[in-house]
Structure 1
Amino acid sequence: MKRSIIVIIIMLARVIYSAYWFYLAPALPIISIEFKVNKALLGLVPFAFIVGAASFQIPAGIIASRLGNAKTAGLGLFAMAITGLLIPFSTNFYEVLILRLIAGIGAALFFSTGAAILSTAYPERVGTLLGIYNAAFGLGSGIGLAWGITYAFLGWRLSTLLLSAVGVPLALTVFFVQSGYIHSPRIRFSRDAVIIGIATSGFWGTYITAGNLLPTYAVGRGLPLYVSSLLTSIMLFSSIFGGLSGRIIDAIKNRVLLIVVLTIVGTVPLITIPTLNVAAIVIAGGLMGFTNELALTAAYALVARHENPTLSLATLNALNMIIGMWLSILFTETMVISYSLPWILMILISLALLPLLKLVSVT
């Protein structure tokens, strides 16, 4: 199969995969009412997903070294689609949590394997392709959030069912891609992947938390659901431009410094969100979307040079999730105490971990 065709298939799959991260975010206020769940517990929905994704990152890398990247990625997307088809039939909040946990495991199977397929297909253009890969995440995430508009017309259950059905044929296509197989690579972990994964986990967690919970936050402050969903989708759509700027990473020598600067620029403006000023939210969200995607692309490009890129990418992503996933719980717990405190904590945690990057051996 031609390399260009393989890239197109993986990018399309990445878009749908990304939509499955966020398409329940606009439905959380509705789920809270339907299942009579305290809003402070809604953070468990993205938390359960990330627990599944974090816990299976390393096993996914090991599975891919035996089964192959394409088959592993296809299975992952299939699991996300099937659980999405089942969620509309949930009868209580706990069923939603279990299904999102399984969907998270599917996400783990797809992420590092999809990225590794790209990095091995075009090793001379790793930064550019991984940037587009992350841009696809921004596009899919924005689609997932914007999909919340359909909830007002079709109801969240039918809308979720329709979007989930799209992933099934695409997952089967990925499964049969004749590429991305790494023949018996050594199970060897990258020290730099561990350090970078910890250092970027705060910024990663802040982005994911804002993407999942800004609609709930905004609705709690009195904004209509469709407005809050659109504002959040702007943040995620802006990340597309961060990913598409991946060529910068191929040109800049000091990628570690780039990550530091982007994290600072992306997090500090979040302090303006509690004002509920629409322009402030658009600017802060837009900056965070752009800088987060570019910073993570730089991180991925650094570790993708390891002899086992699938396992190294899985290690970085696992640490991002294991540490960053707690921010969604912290956010909803502090949201009921203060409207400003959640955002202050997001900023402080993102910046506090950056000094660890001094320990990275490559730049």
Structure 2
Amino acid sequence: MRRRLRTLDALAATAAIWFLAKFLRYAFPPLFPALSSRYGVTDATLGLAFTAMLLVYALLQFPAGAIADRVGATRVITAGAAVAGVAALALAVDAPFAVLVGAMVLVGIGTGVHKTVAIGLLSTVYTERTGRALGVLDTAGALAGVAAPAAVAFCLTSSRVTWHAVFLAGGLLGLSLAVLAYRWLGAREPERDDGDDERVPLRRYAALFRRPAFAGFVLVTVGFSFAYNGVVAFLPRYLETAGLTPATASAVYGSLFVVSLVQTVTGDLADRVGPLRVIVATLAVATVGLLALIAVGGGAGIVTLVGVVVVFGLGSHGFRPVRGAYLMALLPEDVSGGGLGVVRTVLMGAGAIAPGVVGVVSTYAGFRVAFGVLWVALAVAAVTAGVLLVAER
């Protein structure tokens, strides 16, 4: 048992840091009403600030993967955790809005280097159980979506602490995990030979997009990322427009992440029956869930709202680990880190603009119209995945 537990050290370290990364990100949407009141800014402004954080996050995907190909995953992951910890500590004190936005961007920098590099590392450490390992990784991140709204709700209703305490805890955790990751991952990362330092020309990465299966799946991930990030950023506000109180909206928002345990199931299922079949099924479920959320609008009771949010969550979370496993299978080994970074830059870039789009559209046309835009993107992703499955057969 002890020997088996030691084999999980790399997974534990990367999953814990991913939990922190998502915790810091998911802490912001439930704070939007409080931030709007505190700083006197609109949903459009908050959405654009959130987009700035995600855009920086997106732009770091390729550099992080390419650098990890050359200097090793351990150094990149450790540095990212340390930067995220420092950024969180900056948010632990009351400051002007410009400082808040700057700290959000720094959170994007620190967390942006982790996921791409972690996927590459886990796929080499757990070669026979990649889908399951990525399922655990994504589940840890999704559970942060349960913890963050709960922590924010507690702080907002507490007479002893403010919401800054959420980021104080996150900052201390980030610095601690940086030390832990350096020790654990350094011992598990495969040794690199002299050839690993050779630069890979950019045209090698660009050539990946000439392959129809690869380019098609990038379209799938872009559509999903745009829709998912837009929903996650503004779901609490959408639920408030449906008549829920801020506390109840935060609780329903948390239900989106409670169902994240499905990721371990879909990750394992992908190892058994093939990832593309699972991808098509999960995207179909997510598309139905989002359409139902738009359709019920403000006329539904809390039970119905929780139900449709759970359906959307099951499909969305079920898709995420399988996406990573399928991408790693499509990528040549010599450019796996940078190649995955390129894809994640594109998909996270699409996801980064989603909060800004939703914020602006909802301000002038309402949330149902804004979420309708997200549904179209998700539907395109689901249909494209179906076409890829038919072509594969």
Q: Distance in 2 between matches of 1:87 and 1:194?
A: 39
Tell me what 2:164 maps to: 157
AA of the residue aligned to 2:177: L
Tell me what 1:13 maps to: 17
Tell me what 2:174 maps to: 167
Tell me what 1:198 maps to: 219
- Aligned pairs for 1:280-291 (under 5 A) are 280-291=304-315
Tell me what 1:320 maps to: 347
- Which runs of no fewer than 5 residues in structure 2 stay unpaired? none
Tell me what 1:118 maps to: 122
- Counterpart selection for 2:378 from 350, 359, 362: 350
The 1:50–1:310 alpha-carbon spacing in structure 2 relative to 1, beyond 3 Å, is: same
1:211–1:236 Cα contact (<8 Å) kept: no
Q: Distance in 2 between matches of 1:214 and 1:281?
A: 11
Number of residues paired by the alignment?
A: 362
Tell me what 1:210 maps to: 231
1:27–1:151 Cα contact (<8 Å) kept: no
Tell me what 1:101 maps to: 105
* 2:47 pairs with 1:47: no
The 1:356–1:147 alpha-carbon spacing in structure 2 relative to 1, beyond 3 Å, is: same
2:279–2:323 Cα contact (<8 Å) kept: yes
Q: Distance in 1 between matches of 2:125 and 2:372?
A: 41
1:44–1:97 Cα contact (<8 Å) kept: no
- Counterpart selection for 2:261 from 232, 240, 248: 240
AA of the residue aligned to 1:45: A
| CA apart distance, 1:13 | 2.1
- Counterpart selection for 2:338 from 289, 311, 335: 311
| CA apart distance, 1:317 | 1.8
Q: Which moved more, 1:209-218 or 1:76-85?
A: 209-218
* 2:315 pairs with 1:278: no
- Counterpart selection for 2:83 from 79, 86, 90: 79
- Which runs of no fewer than 5 residues in structure 1 stay unpaired? none
The 1:30–1:341 alpha-carbon spacing in structure 2 relative to 1, beyond 3 Å, is: same
| CA apart distance, 1:193 | 4.9
| CA apart distance, 1:247 | 0.6
2:226–2:351 Cα contact (<8 Å) kept: yes
Q: TM-score, normalised by structure 1?
A: 0.91
Q: Distance in 1 between matches of 2:7 and 2:148?
A: 28
AA of the residue aligned to 1:285: V
AA of the residue aligned to 1:215: P
Give secondary structure in 2 for the equivalent of 1:291: helix
- Counterpart selection for 2:288 from 268, 291, 294: 268
| CA apart distance, 1:145 | 2.1
| CA apart distance, 1:289 | 1.9
- Please tell me whether Structure 1 or Structure 2 has the larger radius of gyration of its CA atoms: 2
2:51–2:353 Cα contact (<8 Å) kept: yes
Q: Percent identity?
A: 19
| CA apart distance, 1:77 | 1.6
- Counterpart selection for 2:37 from 26, 33, 38: 33
AA of the residue aligned to 1:17: A
Give secondary structure in 2 for the equivalent of 1:203: helix
AA of the residue aligned to 1:259: I
Give secondary structure in 1 for the equivalent of 2:95: coil
More helix as a share of residues: 2
Q: Distance in 1 between matches of 2:323 and 2:125?
A: 19
* 2:262 pairs with 1:258: no
Report the RMSD for the aligned CA atoms in angstroms.
2.4
Q: TM-score, normalised by structure 2?
A: 0.84
Give secondary structure in 2 for the equivalent of 1:42: helix
Give secondary structure in 1 for the equivalent of 2:244: coil
| CA apart distance, 1:173 | 1.2
| CA apart distance, 1:22 | 0.7
- Deviation string for 1:72-129 (max 9, x for gaps)? 1111122112111102335332222222222112222111111222111110111111
- Deviation string for 1:297-342 (max 9, x for gaps)? 2221112133033223322322211112222122122223224212
- Deviation string for 1:42-100 (max 9, x for gaps)? 11232112101111110001111222101111111221121111023353322222222
Give secondary structure in 2 for the equivalent of 1:91: coil
Give secondary structure in 2 for the equivalent of 1:37: coil
Tell me what 1:341 maps to: 369
